[in-house]
Amino acid sequence: MEERKEKRIIMFPLPFPGHFNPLVQLARIFHHRGFSITIIHTSFNFPDTTHYPNFTFRTIHHHNEGEEEEDPLSKPDASGMDLVTFIRQLREGYANPFRESLKAEVGGGERACCLVSDVVWGRTTEVAAEEVGIRRMVLTTSGVASFCAFAAYPLLRDKHYLPIQDSRLDELVTELPPLRVKDLPVMETNEPEELYRVVNNMVEGAKSSSGIIWNTFEDLERIVLMNFSTEFQVLVFPVGPFYKHSENILPTTKNKEDHVTTDWLNKQDPRTVVYVSFGSLADIEEKEFLEIAWGLRNTKQPFLWVVRPGMVQGTEWLESLPCGFLENIGQKGQIVKWVNQLEVLAHPAVGAFWTHCGWNSTLESICEGVPMICTPFFTDQRVNARYIVDVWQVGMILERSKLDRKEIEKLLRKEMGEEIRESCLKWKDRANVCLSKDGSSSKYLEKLVSHVF
């Protein structure tokens, strides 16, 4: 144990909460096993490091010091951005600064034994790691099924599933069941060819790595994991769900808003509250926002709704709600800017999670046994939604194109049924079994620790 303190793992997250949070959870697991941790982070979205006193942080800036030009990545968050262009800009802008930073880290006193970079950095980190002679692993913060769909892009293009044609939306993709054409992981972009390059670069970066660490558990994605391993000669370590490993179950620092939310949840009956959140990146049109608002108001269920500032296109926060709407919902509903989602999902009052099906949200809901209403927006979210509904049977779909107050009301009433809830409890149990002493995630973790050491 003590010996390992001389060994340092360098980690390079993609600077978004859905990527940074699981990376930090993994960092805690490594730290608990005796490794020192350095996190190289972009100046964009730089975190409050006081929350992570055990880790060393290094900042990299996307342009050289002293340059006059305005930072194109200086927006407070990436809501509504063309994500494909954005990822390309991140990779291009930070490749060299990362290389320099890695060189400095590896040349330092303590021996660095491994680089763990987010898979979305793709091949950006490959040359840098080779130059300094350090093992490079990748962290995939999405599920295996969606990664396999990304890896199948060349085939999907050959077979003309991509680009997606409206006339084929409901067609089964026979090579990737149970996915339908509309479930394929794509992003709207002004640069469609760039999407293929960005994805290809990510897949190649994973294939050439010394192993893929996955925030998933074997039982949940057994078949796709087997398919992946048959096709690709790269080691896989499904050690998730990271946040459920004992070293991650920490008392969280609470702010005032968390108390307000918890006090409100404490007053609700068990399993009655619909928790609504579309994650940290998705944005919606004002028209959709109003349909959701009325749909929630018209149901009998109490609701807790996260509306991030800037999430509704063209508005700052809630100003497009009709006059008197908030007074009218009174204590039945809470609209907040952000919550501690893990605490909310674990609260006994929460009966359903209306989600965009980001991978972390999906995994967190499965692990807490909360059924989902799925409204996927882009990338892996559509794949996750299909698996939630058809494979794991822990949720129902509400397509974004059908966001209508009547549909919402109807579905929210239905969701509270018992069949789905039984499936949820089964998966919750299975996640716990995987994390137990002899469970698959624990065993893979042992292998992973030996591999990076």
Among 359, 387, 392, 427, binds ligand UDP (CB under 6 A): 359
- CB of 168 or CB of 254, closer to ligand UDP: 254
Q: Is 338 in the site for ligand UDP (CB under 6 A)?
A: yes
What is the three-class DSSP state of 378? coil
> Of residues 13, 205, 333, 358, which one binds ligand UDP by CB under 6 A?
358
User: Residues 124, 261, 301, 361: which binds ligand UDP (CB under 6 A)?
Assistant: 361
Spatial distance between the Cα atoms of 124 and 449, rounded to a whole number of angstroms: 24
Per rule CB under 6 A, is residue 310 in the interface with ligand UDP? no
The rounded distance, in Å, linking the Cα atoms of 151 and 229 is 12
Q: Which of 202, 195, 84 is nearest to 138 (CA)?
A: 202
* 3-state secondary structure (DSSP) of residue 322: coil
Task: State the nearest-atom distance from the C-beta of 220 to ligand UDP, in Å.
Answer: 15
With CA atoms as reference, report the closest residue to 40 among 112, 88, 109: 112
Size of the site for ligand UDP (CB under 6 A): 19
Dihedral sign computed on CA atoms, order 80, 359, 294, 302: negative
Binding mask 55-84 for ligand UDP (x = CB under 6 A): ------------------------------
- The yes or no reply on residue 360 touching ligand UDP (CB under 6 A) is yes
Nearer to ligand UDP, 77 or 407 (CB): 77
- C-alpha torsion 92→96→99→105, nearest 10: -120
Which tokens hold the place of 20?
């940074």
Applying CB under 6 A, which part among 35-43, 166-174, 277-285, 346-354 lies near ligand UDP?
Answer: 277-285
Which position has the token pair 């959140």?
277
Cβ neighbors of 102 (< 8 A, separation 6 or more) are 10, 40, 115, 125, 128, 129, 132, 134
In whole angstroms, the minimum distance from the beta carbon of 410 to ligand UDP comes to 25
Stretch that binds ligand UDP, among 114-122, 294-302, 314-322, 360-368 (CB under 6 A): 360-368
Q: Does 42 bind ligand UDP (CB under 6 A)?
A: no
- Does 189 bind ligand UDP (CB under 6 A)? Our answer is no
Nearer to ligand UDP, 17 or 309 (CB): 17
The CB-of-65 to ligand UDP minimum distance in angstroms stands at: 31
15 binds ligand UDP (CB under 6 A): no
In angstroms, rounded to a whole number, what is the distance separating the alpha carbons of residues 453 and 277? 39
User: Residue type for 351, please?
Assistant: G
Q: Which is nearer to ligand UDP, 187 or 449 (CB)?
A: 187
Tell me, rounded to whole angstroms, the distance of Cα 339 from its chain centroid: 16
Q: Least distance (Å) from ligand UDP to the CB of residue 318?
A: 15
Residue (317 or 338) nearer to ligand UDP, CB: 338
Calculate the alpha carbon distances from 98 to 18, 39, 203, 226, 431 in Å: 21, 11, 20, 34, 36
One-letter amino acid of 251: P
Decide if residue 239 touches ligand UDP (CB under 6 A): no
**449 burial class (0-12, 13-18, 19+ CB within 10 angstroms)?**
middle
Q: Nearest to ligand UDP by Cβ — which residue?
A: 18
CA-CA distance, 86 to 445, in Å (whole number)? 33
Q: Is 277 in the site for ligand UDP (CB under 6 A)?
A: yes
| Per-residue CA distances from 333 to 261, 270, 288, 299, 396 (Å) | 11, 15, 18, 11, 22
Residue 142 Cβ vs ligand UDP, minimum distance, rounded to whole Å: 8
Q: Which of residues 16-35 bind ligand UDP (CB under 6 A)?
A: 16-18, 21
**What does 86-147 look like in DSSP terms, one character per residue?**
HHHHHHHHHHHHHHHHHHHHHTSSSEEEEEEEEGGGGGGGHHHHHHHT-EEEEEE-S-HHHH
Distance, CA of 62 to CA of 72 (rounded, Å) = 9
185, 241, 279, 395: which one binds ligand UDP (CB under 6 A): 279
Residue 326 CB, shortest distance to ligand UDP, in Å, is 19
45 binds ligand UDP (CB under 6 A): no
Across the strands, what pairs with 270? Answer: none
Rounded to a whole number of angstroms, the minimum distance from the CB of residue 158 to ligand UDP is 30
309 binds ligand UDP (CB under 6 A): no
Choices 48-56, 101-109, 118-126, 340-348 (CB under 6 A): range interacting with ligand UDP:
340-348
Q: In terms of CB distance, is 52 or 338 closer to ligand UDP?
A: 338
In angstroms, what is the minimal distance from the CB of 277 to ligand UDP?
5
Q: For ligand UDP, which residue of 24, 144, 224, 306 counts as binding (CB under 6 A)?
A: 306
Residues at the interface with ligand UDP (CB under 6 A): 16-18, 21, 277, 279-281, 306, 338-342, 358-361, 364
